[in-house]
A and B are shown apart, each in its own frame.
Chain A
């Protein structure tokens, strides 16, 4: 039984990381209507930005480095969109080309990260914290902070989408870009802001993933990307709330299953969940109009 509760704890942490990543991916997908296959490498690059601030240049506290690293990643995402993705999306009417471009961007970014930082496994300077009992769960302070960040982000995104002008414009664009534009919404500005948020969340997710796993390699984002996809499709692609629900389900499912079957197969559990979701409810738990 203790093993079960231990894996529930891990599951909640994984779900938190996954939620941050899935919201970032979904937000951008909802606005631009194409998937960013380089998202995993956005995460890795964000994690390395934090690494530089934390270990190499300024030796900042990990949480300050995380904030700055995520913001830097947001700026990076805006730059990439402005000079690379947006021109392609404008020029070619169908999504094929821009999908191939993001796929290519992923290859470029991965190999640039490899060229700069090498293939070595790296570690953050994180203060070691003792695990404590919270109810039946056993969690460290760092894991609690990660969960707190995820919860705050979910609440923040929800408030933003429901109450602010920016959030309403985003929802309008996500439903119908042309209509939003004719209603006087500055779609380019909204797209830029969305890319900033998406990039910042990718950086944040990449860093907390590395904190959670205890190490950092250039390829860690790439494998995790698939788990994000599983969560996002399970939840209903493009739907922010679906992404949150899918992330929590997949996070818990992968970690709890690791208590019963060989942990090496926990990715396959996520994949099976994805396939079952596709067979039973291809539009996802919370469907967004026009997705099938």
Chain B
């Protein structure tokens, strides 16, 4: 029983991290990253090959560094970040939002196909397995005590990452992200480098994706291509939309509602005899339906983005002489339903 509870707790924290990463890309900077799960996968794989020893019987992979816990996960995060730089350099400057989404989703499919076929990199379709469980040897943890322990580790990591992210969102950088999202023409006119802002948000978000992926592979000890079909990106989007795009606390609520209640709790239901996998299929369809209902009836999410009032140009309205950065395009209406990201139509 504790095993189940702590599995749920782990996935809650892990998806909290993943959703925060997607939130800085989509919620803050307005990049519709449909390849998000690809970055998670790269993070997971690189964490795996960084922690596995140089040679393992029956598995083929690159690196094999045998590094201990925080280092291997960091390598996973950095690998995802590097990939995002490459992707951003090719696509961000050239494409408007929906073409970017097409290229990104294509990229995630090709990455999937490539990892499946190119066996010597990440062991192909079998994926990596027997990835060392962090601290399990040093602390003498059994299979049963490892799960609650690692759920707590994930909780600590999530807390640190939430703290950092809430600083980033409040900092001038976060404000500039929102300015770019709301109207990149205005942001550019005010001297903000739109491409660099989008690149930065891609990098930060992908780092979060990589860390989340790294925790995922260490929790389960294995990771293979079926774990990151493009549909998985949608689950993270569901967490984000249900929680409330643009709000970090909302990500936690979203992770709780979508990931824990909708995705993982039904997995404990008994199988319907004669219909293997039916519950899982049905469950994912329900996630899609919930997301659409949410978008229609409450597009701002469970915890809406807080209304940030900008200091006005007129000095008389400033409460004190504090020179606040000019904040752009934050509408006064609480339910901001549209991201103006410069589509020509």
Binding site for B on A (CB under 8 A): 33-35, 37, 84, 87-88, 91-97, 99-101, 103-108, 110-112, 114-115, 118-119, 177, 222-223, 225-226, 229-230, 233, 237, 262, 264-265, 267-268, 271, 274-275, 278-279, 282, 290-292
B317 contacts partner chain A, Cβ-Cβ < 8 Å: no
Across the interface, do A94 and B95 meet the contact criterion of CB distance under 8 Å? no
| Listed residue (A87, A100, A229, A275) with the most chain B CB atoms within 10 angstroms of its CB | A100
Across the interface, do A267 and B288 meet the contact criterion of CB distance under 8 Å? no
A104, A115, A177: which contacts B292 (Cβ < 8 A)?
A: A104
Across the interface, do A226 and B109 meet the contact criterion of CB distance under 8 Å? yes
Chain B residues with Cβ under 8 A from A237's Cβ? 99, 102
B98 to chain A, nearest CB (A): 5
Chain A residues with Cβ under 8 A from B289's Cβ? 108
B interface bracket (residues with beta carbon within 8 Å of A): 35 or more
Q: Which 3 A-B pairs have the closest CB atoms?
A: A108-B288, A264-B117, A111-B285
Chain B residues with Cβ under 8 A from A262's Cβ? 117
The verdict on A268 contacting B288 (CB below 8 Å), with A92-B337, A115-B282 known, is no
Across the interface, do B343 and A94 meet the contact criterion of CB distance under 8 Å? yes
B284 contacts partner chain A, Cβ-Cβ < 8 Å: yes
Chain A residues with Cβ under 8 A from B105's Cβ? 37, 226, 229
Total residue contacts A-B, CB cutoff 8 A: 136
Across the interface, do B339 and A103 meet the contact criterion of CB distance under 8 Å? no
A177 to chain B, nearest CB (A): 7
In chain B, positions 130-165 with a C-beta closer than 8 Å to chain A are none
B167 contacts partner chain A, Cβ-Cβ < 8 Å: no
Chain B 70-105 per-residue mask, 1 if CB under 8 angstroms from chain A, else 0: 000000000000000000001100111111011101
| Listed residue (A95, A229, A275) with the most chain B CB atoms within 10 angstroms of its CB | A95
Chain B 320-345 per-residue mask, 1 if CB under 8 angstroms from chain A, else 0: 00000000000000000111110111
B37 to chain A, nearest CB (A): 12
Chain B residues with Cβ under 8 A from A99's Cβ? 32, 97-98, 101
In chain B, positions 91-126 with a C-beta closer than 8 Å to chain A are 91, 94-99, 101-103, 105-107, 109-110, 113-114, 117
* CB nearest to B34 among chain A residues: A103
| Listed residue (B231, B275, B277, B299) with the most chain A CB atoms within 10 angstroms of its CB | B231
The distance in angstroms between the C-alpha atoms of A237 and B97, with both chains bound, is: 13
